[in-house]
Chain A
Amino acid sequence: MKSILGMAILLSYVLVLLLIGSYGARMTGKTREEYFMAGRGLGSIAVFMTLFATNITAFTIIGQAGFAYHVGFGAYGYVIGWSIFVTPFTYYLIGYRSWLLGKRFGYATQPQVFGGILNSRAVSLLFLFLLLYYTLPYLVVSIIGGGLAFSTISDGLIPYWLAAALIVGVSLLYTVPAGMRGTAWTDIFQGALFLVISVLLLAALVKPLGGFAAITERVARERPDLLQRALSPELAPANWFSFSFINSIAVIVFPQIFTRIMASRNSRSLKQVTLFYPAAMALIFGISTLLGVWGAVSIPGLLGKESDNIVPLLISRHLSPLWTVLGLLMILAIVKSSIDSQLLTVAHLVTDDLIAPYKQIPPGQAVLWGRIVLVCFSAAAFFIALLRPAAILTIAAFAFSGFSIMLPVMIGVLYWPRANKYGTCAALILPAIVLHLWYLELLPPWSTFGLMPVVPAFFLSAFTLIAVSLLTPPPPAALQKKTFGFFSRIFER
């Protein structure tokens, strides 16, 4: 009876997604702008929910809880603390100026914005290459993580390959017909779904564990190290400081986040997003942190990555089987809401910035090309996720760092009229090479000054942009005026 109910819940979820996708497809016009950017008409709730749901991955519930299991309450500040402020701040610092340029000059992606400001095809192609280079492994790892999480929480009933196929397949069912509208509208549904389930899950687990205060007292008695950040070697100040440069500042560089900002209807929508964001991130990561710490005293003894199973273990130990279905639903919603956005954005980048500049696509066929690219990349990502090649996993391990070190370039080009194409190209290439050398251990560890490699690479990027730009000719005055004259008419009023 319960399995029938569980199946009915899962099918209802898929049905709702299909209905939203089908409605989105009817509302979507036949142009690339409509398909990939929802006609730049996303309102406050759609932008907020699609950014939030895209930003939340399987790590939020599975990985964060597993990390908190070992290091305690400090995991909260370490992983998400700085991000609570700096992510919305970068939406202002970079997102708003890029959005203004997008509205004025028709830009939709980073290659278009930054290549457009500097009028440089090389800058465009470098952005495109680096974004695809870091996004594709990240996408594959998201599918692997989602597939494993889905399979684990179903207690092995759904094998990994089927879980991965379901995640990619269901995402395509609404993304292919409805494009950006499909992903944004389903993100509203999926984001609300995983927020509600995670709050209910926390509330349901409190009672069998003895109540909020009793659990914390038990943690203080049995694992006092989980209450104090200074007692955790993983949270050493050098790591804590370094991590501020990885997780938090990379978000605006993710192309799936950037394009969603560009699809906002107006400035008011973006402002509201930055105000909603801190509370939403604090809530979802707070829940997963609590679940991890509670698991450490309720189900002690898990070693290493075993702790990533702590949420499914808490559910199966303390709650009814129906909660397993709700847990599956939560994982599915979290994983799919980020994977569908990544798939669509990769298709967008390839169609708009790789194919369109070299091949004249008739207006009537633009969306068809986008859909073909989307299906091809999805199939490729799925098969790579099945094979799990080591090279992909290695690149994914430092993809966040790779995104982070592109941030100084984005800030520099948007704020410093003297930044030129030579400085930009050098600041994209040199730090990326050095970052690889550090991660592949071809440079000695002392050369990072005891910090994570991303920190010196970040400052190297800023230094290279400034130094090379100053040593080479400035951009033509007309080019500077096009962007900065436009900005001054808005900001100097």
Chain B
Amino acid sequence: MKISKAGIRLKVALLIALVMFLLHNSFWLWKWDARVPYLCGFMPFSFAYYIGYAFLATLAMALVITLSWPDPPPSLLEPADRDTEELKKR
């Protein structure tokens, strides 16, 4: 079965989501809550982890946008399938 380029890009985006899901449900890291020194002197690992996670989420979204979020050509967004006048009235 042939998989299109768009299909591959979508699968990579879903793979990124899966990695982020695993990083959120990273129970094996919980033991570090009591071992890792506080970030900036006051943030324990359980809290600091999600500050890092937020940065990673931004990077992950930037990657998803680059890979799999094409901008549509304006001509394709012209109203279709319904009477333009009807749309204007709405």
Contact residues of A between 453 and 493, Cβ < 8 Å to B: 482, 486, 488-493
Interface pair B89/A363, CB less than 8 Å apart: yes
CB distance from B36 to the nearest CB of A (A): 10
Docked CA distance A277–B54 (Å): 9
Q: Is the interface of B mostly helix, strand, loop or mixed?
A: helix
Interface pair A31/B88, CB less than 8 Å apart: yes
Question: How many residues of B sit at the interface, in one of the four size bands?
Answer: 35 or more
Docked CA distance A230–B31 (Å): 8
CB distance from A322 to the nearest CB of B (A): 27
CB distance from B30 to the nearest CB of A (A): 5
Interface pair A84/B80, CB less than 8 Å apart: no
Question: How many residues of A sit at the interface, in one of the four size bands?
Answer: 35 or more
Chain A residues, CB < 8 A from B4:
488, 492
Interface pair B46/A486, CB less than 8 Å apart: no
CB distance from B83 to the nearest CB of A (A): 10
Chain B residues, CB < 8 A from A274:
61, 64-65
Q: A84-B57, A216-B44 are known contacts; what are 14 more A-B pairs with Cβ within 8 Å? A: A82-B21, A85-B56, A92-B64, A103-B79, A104-B81, A213-B42, A229-B30, A229-B33, A229-B46, A237-B25, A237-B27, A275-B61, A286-B50, A489-B76
A90 and chain B: residue at smallest CB distance: B17
B47 and chain A: residue at smallest CB distance: A73
Contact residues of A between 40 and 79, Cβ < 8 Å to B: 72-74, 76-77
Interface pair A240/B90, CB less than 8 Å apart: no
Docked CA distance A140–B61 (Å): 34
Interface pair A77/B50, CB less than 8 Å apart: yes
A121 at the interface (CB under 8 A from B): no
A492 and chain B: residue at smallest CB distance: B6
Which of A89, A215, A415: most chain B Cβ within 10 A?
A: A89
Docked CA distance A89–B20 (Å): 10
B78 and chain A: residue at smallest CB distance: A104
